[in-house]
Amino acid sequence: MQKQEAWWKGAVIYQLIPRSFADGNADGIGDLQGLANRLGYLRWLGVDAIWLTPLYPSPLEDGGYDITDFKDIHPELGDLASFHRFLTAAHDQGIKVILDLVLNHTSVLHPWFQRARWAKKGSQERDVYVWNDDENRYCDAPVLFRKFESSNWEWDEVAQQYYFHRFLRHQPDLNYENSWVQDQMLEVIDFWIERGVDGFRLDAVPFLFESEGSRCEGLPETHAFLKKVRQRVDSHSRDILLLAEAIQPINEAASYLDDKELHGAFNFVLTAHLFAAVANGECKQLRLCLEKSQQAVSGSRWALPLRNHDELWLGDGHLIPVGIIQTIRDGLHQGHGHWLNWGINRRLAPLLNGDLRANRLLNALLYSLPGMPCIYYGDELGMGDWPGLRDRDPNRTPMAWTSVRNGGFSSAPDPLLVLPPITSPGYDYRVVNVEVQKQLPGSLLNWHRRMLTCRRLLPALRHGDFKLLESSHPSVIVYSRTCETMTVLVAANFSAAGSSLRLDLSKWKGKRTREVLWGCEYPTADKDWFIYLPSYGFSWWLIGEVDDSIR
Ligand code: GLC
Ligand code: CA
């Protein structure tokens, strides 16, 4: 019998923050009941999986990435019983569920840390975290949240030692040299798999181990532990996705994708190059990045986000020329940028100055490049953000469902809301919301839904081979996706001006060509095949004889 493809190959992932998505009990905070009530929407939109940012008990110093109990649910979101109800409902709708798994650190309020700081120096209990008598250890490890922290060490009065933290001082790093820590975290994985989850997004994977004289990123010991994670997951004989968050150059991110390690990794470099291509109307660097990504590992292993709950990373000038970073920083052209620690804390639509053509262009690439496209909740509406809020809160505000008060997110009194809904000009929830956009045939939301429907009808986009084609125009990228049954040709124009070009389709000479999104016939494929793409325009063509219902 033929082995079934893993569920996550080419899956469309919808990322959401449970606290900001839908409030089921009118206390102003999104929760699992609210989310369960909205599963019909996600099914209607056509996504395959949802990734939930952490839903564990937490004092929320870092959006829930500071955890006090890995095996429970934050009481504001629900409990294990409501998680079970939500998961069953998601599965009934055919939607997979991916949890965020934070291996690197806990909250300072985690009982393990409280026990550690009171325990004797050098004891087993103390050893669960990384301590030192001074700050002169692991000095080559860069501070990541440099807006909030100036050192990776924090003095603890009770312990009379410093503890190590790669992120906020509220997030002490677990000591992976300690086998007890490893066993505990492997048990956490068992716990959630036994409760039925379909995958994990592994937070901050590069940082698990430390070593003197290194940046403390991606050390061999870290890879060895991740292989144990994989073994543990495989022992459950279910198809579980392990997806790495490593905000690093392509080859480093790909290093987690050894066949015995993780299944997928986000391609943040590609995300940066997509924005860069829009900013300067040129796609040479984007092409090189795609080539490099393919060489590093098969395309299906990459997950591709445009935006997420964090900053937009542009790689400190070594990935993308400084001038282009500046353009993106300045909100592409009009001075709307906001720089936080190492990137921009804004949503997709405002980053693109509300330009719908550029927005559709980037999403059309997302849906046709190889791998797992990741939609960030609200970006399918072109939702706005609140630049004045602290940290990454600008891009974490409540989902806009309807035109009623608070966008239908919650009926609680305004001061109780988790974050203020968007009412800024051009992005007001009374206009930019699900209900309104469902009714407008030309809305961004209906466009996303149509694109996802097309994607489902075109298996070549889900798991076909990827090939870059020659393009005679510097603003236009051209590629094909081919599986056993079909070839889809894609062309995308990163210029704000229209672009015409000649393509050499002699490889498919004499074959019928049809544009899928608009349903129009083109001349048969030939050596000289001419196309015109309007400002930020793109097309998907089916090449050859394929069932006419696909159009
Ligand atoms: C990851 C998360 C980010 C969090 C950090 C520390 O980068 O995406 O939101 O702050 O890890 O856990
Ligand atoms: Ca609630």
The pLDDT tens digits for 366-389 are 999 999 999 999 999 999 999 989
Mean pLDDT, range 487-499, rounded to an integer: 98
- Asked whether residue 305 falls in the same domain as residue 374, the answer is yes
pLDDT score recorded for residue 38 = 98
Separation between Cα atoms, residue 467 and residue 473, nearest integer Å: 17
194 and 77 in a single domain? The answer is yes
CATH of the domain at 511: 2.60.40.1180
Kindly indicate the confidence band of residue 551, based on its pLDDT and cuts at 50, 70 and 90: low
pLDDT single digits (tens) 323-340: 888 888 887 766 666 888
C-alpha–C-alpha distance, residues 465 and 457, integer Å: 16
How does the average pLDDT of the chain come out, rounded?
95
For residue 338, what pLDDT is reported? 82
Residue 125 included in any domain: yes
Instruction: Summarize the chain as % helix, strand, coil (round to 5).
Output: 30, 15, 50
Q: Is the pLDDT confidence value at 513 over 70?
A: yes
476: three-class secondary structure by DSSP: strand
Residues within 6 Å of ligand 1 by CB:
62-63, 65, 102, 167, 203-204, 245, 309-310
Instruction: Report yes or no on 1 lying in a domain.
Output: no
**pTM reported for the whole predicted model:** 0.97
Is 217 in the active site?
no
**What is residue 223's predicted lDDT score, i.e. its pLDDT?**
98
Active site annotation includes 484: no
Q: Which of 165, 167, 174, 345 gets mutated to test ligand 1 (max ligand atoms within 8 A of its CB)?
A: 167
User: Which numbered ligand comes closest to the C-alpha of 77?
Assistant: 2
User: pLDDT digit string (tens) for 141-175?
Assistant: 999 999 999 999 999 999 999 999 999 999 999 99
∠ CA 359-364-368 to the nearest 5 degrees?
A: 155
Lowest mean pLDDT, pick from 20-29, 86-95, 510-519 = 510-519
Q: Which CATH number goes with the domain that contains 120?
A: 3.90.400.10
User: Which residue lies with its CA nearest to atom 3 of ligand 1?
Assistant: 310
What spacing in Å lies between the alpha carbon of 492 and ligand 1's midpoint?
Answer: 32
Same domain, 523 and 539: yes
State whether 148 and 191 are in the same domain: no
The total number of structural domains that make up the chain = 3
Same domain, 284 and 222: yes
Ranges 60-74, 324-338, 345-359: which has the least confidence: 324-338
- For ligand 2, the distance from its centroid to the CA atom of residue 82, given in whole angstroms, is 12
pLDDT, position 388: 87
Checking if the pLDDT of 121 tops 70, the result is yes
Q: Residue 154's domain spans which residues?
A: 111-164
pLDDT per residue as tens digits for the range 168-199: 999 999 999 999 999 999 999 999 999 999 99
Structural domain ending residue among the three candidates 431, 454, 477 = 454
**Please, what's the b/e burial string for 367-383 (b: 16 or more CB within 10 A of its CB; e: otherwise)?**
bbbbbbbbbbbbbbbbb
For residue 254, give both structure tokens.
Answer: 């790909």
DSSP lists the bridge partners of residue 264 as 243
Which ligand minimizes its atom distance to the CA of 149?
1
